[in-house]
């Protein structure tokens, strides 16, 4: 097991290939978007086995203490996952491990290390057939789409205000936004902004289509400025995005929501979403 403060381009490519192989074997990707984007940067710490590519195992540790790991399907049941997890805990005893899909091997490893489930992130889905056309905006508001080079700071400001208590989304900065808008999947026409009569950004819905061939779109982020909450803007922005994704000819839409976010779960239940999968986070009891 070898620590890396940063990965070479070849090493980063090898980790992505490792993640693809694991996804093919398990279903869910073992590495989330933030960790995949961080492979090319210097924010995260990395552990690999062996030292150089191709890798049989990988673990990443983010500055906030969250961690993710994966082992090549052809190298499992050899203790690699446990060694990687112990290596992460040696560097940060309070590390919190994501188990995407919360699969039995991940639960077993967590239990063997004395880790407990501390968070659940639910994946909800619904079909897009029958989605109505986009409604008119509520009185006093208007709709437009994101303009690159113009709207970045306003989007960051409303995102920070709307997600001030969210452990990941609330930390989005300009570098993170630029990384996301620089991805091949980004489409400014799918990032909807709701303004009030004075031009202040009141709500937004960022949709995502990572792989059009999958037929699955995503409610990537929906946010409402605190001063505009309680006026139906979240439901309106969601409806606009769903209509957009349906218009692209996609079959299904999915979204991620905290398992304990009762108001959001009620909203999405009314919108026809049902539980599809769960991602769990494990950590030592405090």
**Pair (188, 75) in one structural domain:** no
pLDDT value, residue 171: 84
Q: Are residues 27 and 140 in the same domain?
A: no
pLDDT at 170: 80
The model's pTM is 0.87
| pLDDT number for residue 165 | 84
- Do 239 and 202 fall within a single domain? yes
In a domain, 166, yes or no: yes
pLDDT at 166: 80
Tell me, yes or no, whether 49 and 107 share the same domain.
yes
pLDDT of residue 136: 95
Per the domain annotation, does 57 fall within a domain? yes
- Domain boundary pick from 113, 139, 163: 113
> How much of the chain, in percent, has pLDDT values that exceed 70?
100
Identify the pLDDT of residue 176.
92
Asked whether residue 150 falls in the same domain as residue 98, the answer is no
Residue range 142-154: mean pLDDT, rounded: 98
Confidence category of residue 179, pLDDT binned at 50, 70, 90: very high
Number of Cα atoms under 13 Å in the Cβ half of residue 59: 27
Lowest mean pLDDT among 4-18, 67-81, 251-265: 251-265
Q: How many domains does the chain have?
A: 2
Q: Which two tokens stand for residue 80?
A: 């690699």
Q: Does one domain contain both 63 and 164?
A: no
Q: Is 119 inside any structural domain?
A: no
pLDDT at 270: 85
With 90 as the cut, is the pLDDT of residue 197 above it?
A: yes
For residue 72, what are the domain limits?
2-113
Residue 149: pLDDT band (50, 70, 90) is very high
User: In Å, how far are 15, 24, 133 from 209, measured between CA atoms?
Assistant: 23, 20, 19
Both 107 and 150 in one domain: the answer is no
| pLDDT on residue 16 | 97
Within a domain: residue 286?
no
Whether 258 and 131 map to the same domain: the answer is: yes
Total number of residues shown for the chain:
286
Tokens of 267: 């909203």
CATH of the domain at 254: 3.40.630.30
In a domain, 20, yes or no: yes
Per-residue pLDDT band at 10 (split at 50, 70, 90):
very high
Q: Which of 113, 139, 174 is the last residue of a domain?
A: 113
Q: Are residues 64 and 28 in the same domain?
A: yes
Q: Which residues pair with 216 in a beta bridge?
A: 252
The pLDDT of 14-36, averaged and rounded, is 96
Looking at the fold, whether 152 and 247 belong to one and the same domain comes out as yes
| Mean predicted lDDT score pLDDT of the chain | 95
Residues 104 and 246 in one domain: no
- Residue 167 above 80 pLDDT? no
Residue 49: which pLDDT band, with cuts at 50, 70 and 90?
very high
Residue 112's contacts (CB-CB under 8 Å, 6 or more residues apart) are 82
- Of 113, 147, 168, the residue that ends a domain is 113
For the segment 245-265, what is each residue's pLDDT rounded down to a tens digit? 999 999 999 999 999 988 889
**What pLDDT is attached to residue 268?**
87
């Amino acid at each position: 097991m070898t620590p890396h403060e940063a990965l070479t381009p070849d090493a980063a490519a090898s980790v992505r290939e490792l993640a693809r192989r694991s996804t093919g074997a398990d279903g869910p990707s073992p590495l989330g978007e933030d960790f995949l984007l961080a492979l090319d940067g210097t924010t995260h710490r990395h552990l690999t086995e062996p030292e150089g590519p191709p890798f049989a195992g990988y673990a990443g540790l983010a500055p906030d203490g969250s961690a993710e790991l994966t082992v090549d399907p052809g190298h499992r049941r050899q203790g690699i996952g446990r060694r990687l997890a112990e290596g992460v805990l040696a560097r940060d005893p309070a590390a919190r491990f994501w188990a995407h899909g919360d699969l039995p091997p991940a639960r077993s490893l967590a239990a063997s290390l004395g880790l407990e489930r501390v968070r659940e992130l639910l994946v909800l889905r619904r079909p897009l057939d029958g989605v109505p056309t986009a409604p008119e905006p509520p009185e006093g508001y208007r709709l437009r789409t994101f303009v690159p080079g113009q709207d970045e700071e306003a989007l960051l400001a409303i995102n920070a205000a709307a997600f001030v208590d969210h452990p990941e989304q609330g930390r989005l900065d300009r570098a993170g936004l630029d990384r996301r808008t620089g991805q091949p999947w980004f489409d400014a026409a799918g990032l909807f902004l709701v303004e009030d009569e004075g031009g202040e950004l009141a709500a937004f819905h960022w949709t995502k289509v990572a792989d059009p061939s999958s037929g699955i779109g995503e409610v990537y982020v929906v946010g409402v400025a605190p001063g505009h909450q309680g006026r139906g803007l979240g439901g309106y922005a969601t409806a606009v995005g769903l209509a957009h994704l349906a218009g692209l000819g996609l079959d299904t839409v999915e979204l991620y929501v905290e398992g304990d976010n009762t108001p959001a779960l009620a909203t999405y239940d009314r919108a026809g979403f049902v539980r599809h999968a769960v991602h769990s986070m494990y950590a030592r009891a405090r």
